[in-house]
Amino acid sequence: MEIYAVGDRVTHDRFGLGRVIGIEPAAVLVDFGHERARVTSPFTRLSKL
């Protein structure tokens, strides 16, 4: 499983490019510009750039 930190640039299969703005025990909060999303573990659709 990939480890994410606040400020990491990421890409999501559905939402596109974004930046991590928060970390939770089983989720990351990502700002995709047009919306913000809470992506839950195991982060299969999220990749770090």
* Annotated domain spans of the chain: 1-40
C-alpha torsion 13→3→48→1, nearest 10: -50
pLDDT 10s digits, 3-42: 999 999 999 999 999 999 999 999 999 999 999 999 999 9
In this predicted structure, the answer to whether residue 1 has a pLDDT above a threshold of 80 is: no
Residues 35, 25: Cα–Cα separation, whole Å: 22
pLDDT of residue 34: 94
pLDDT category at 45 given cuts 50, 70, 90 is: very high
pLDDT of residue 2: 87
pLDDT of residue 17: 98
CA 22 to chain centre: 9
